[in-house]
Amino acid sequence: MIRCILGLANFGRATFWRLVLALCGGRMGRGCRIQAGVRLACGRGRPIILGRGVWLMRGVVLSTSETGRIEVEDNVYIGEYGVVTSNALVHIGRNAIIAPHADLVDFNHGFDDLSRTVLAQPRDAAPIRIGRDAWLGAGVKVLRGVTIGDQAVVGAGAVVTRDVPARAVAVGVPARVVRERGKPVPPAAPPA
């Protein structure tokens, strides 16, 4: 009974957001799961496109402004309170996992002109691309112009300011590549 009620609630949310996205030039594929508290903020000419089987967990926010566009391919999971904000393009490849509290922001505000507020200064935007089957850990921050390659892993709390190659494992602030997936981990050096 509870499962049936939850299924109906998801159907209602998905139907509502499918209509909102369509009105803005976006779309939502079949089988998407949209939990309560999700916000999809878009407008005509700045669409959000969701593939099939996308999971958006509680509190996720996808937002486009100016000329922004968000494209999420099939079977992507975005964890609780994840935020994706676009003034250019954010593209997330199929089967990617984005853990809770991750932020992807493809623009930055200018701030050098002290006679104007930061909000009134120009924004510098550049696309973010997340490859297929990539995994971004909890609290990861991905900044403008970054590409994270197919099957790459970014460790929890990392701040990604430069590209991460396919199959790489990157950690830290700023994120740096520490190894490649599928290859043995080098043994630790013996203590001196």
Q: Which of 132, 65, 67, 63 is closest to 104 using CA atoms? A: 63
Question: How far is it, in rounded angstroms, from Cα 148 to Cα 134?
Answer: 8
Task: Name the active-site residue from 58, 109, 162, 181.
Answer: 109
Question: How far is it, in rounded angstroms, from Cα 44 to Cα 89?
Answer: 15
**Helix (H/G/I), strand (E/B), else coil: 20:** helix
Question: How far is it, in rounded angstroms, from Cα 110 to Cα 121?
Answer: 5
Asked about 109 being catalytic, the answer comes back as yes
Residue positions annotated with a catalytic role: 109
